[in-house]
Structure 1
């Protein structure tokens, strides 16, 4: 009996935190402009009820000050909303992985994830941001 209740509370808390992060929205972004989304931030895109949110970043890039076998990759996960339709997707910084996608005729390209990791320095997930270019 307790297990379903705990699962319900967990789902409820996740839902509430998602709404709070998506409430952090800024003014309209023009198509053709680059923009920077901070962790948990959303931007409205000029058009009929378009919105993009940065949900999370996973960073395995080779830290400055270290020697690595490969350069690593940062993965930025987003939610794109068009009216009532929602698309979740991830983009990568590593050139051999997907760095852009097309949704609703808009090309969404990941330009950069900051900050870049430094050896022996922990980065709080909330300190990350992703620079995007949204174009036709």
Structure 2
């Protein structure tokens, strides 16, 4: 019985800490499938996936910078919105939902010259402010 308790205590000590809720106006990073709560849980932001990424590969010389699409889901003030945010400023890089502005600051990593970024490796840097 003592061994079981020691094993359980060891597992508890290595568990990941609870995610920290970012502050409004402070840039934060999400991985695909991650969700954060902001402004006292009045706002929930989730990073869905990256369905398209035509950005110029790292180290390449490109005529056009390309674009990547980041799917987000935002719930605020009873409103739920699914949006596609873009890395290229010629397209929508942000969305306003329920009195909040959600902006895509950047998407990492850049595509490698020899292929695509594995879906789980993407990181979206976001900024949320009051609209």
Give TM-score scaled by structure 1 length.
Answer: 0.74
Give the paired residue count: 112
Q: Give the aligned partner of residue 62 of structure 1.
A: 56
Partner of 1:97: 91
Q: RMSD in angstroms over aligned alpha carbons?
A: 1.8
The residue that corresponds to 1:123 in the other structure is 117
8 Å Cα contact 1:61-1:72 kept in structure 2 = yes
Match of 2:44 among 45, 51, 63: 51
Alignment TM-score, normalising by the size of structure 2: 0.77
- Gaps of at least 5 residues in structure 1 are 1-24
Q: Which runs of 5+ in 2 are unaligned?
A: 1-17
**Structure with more of its chain in strand, by fraction:** 1
CA distance in 2, matches of 1:105, 1:39: 24
Q: CA deviation at 1:84?
A: 5.1
Contact 1:26–1:42 (Cα < 8 Å) also in 2: no
| 1:1-46 deviation digits (Å, cap 9, x = unpaired) | xxxxxxxxxxxxxxxxxxxxxxxx8332221111101111000112
Contact 1:75–1:92 (CA under 8 A) maintained in structure 2: yes
Q: How far apart, in 1, do the equivalents of 2:58 and 2:20 lie?
A: 35
CA drift at 1:126: 0.5
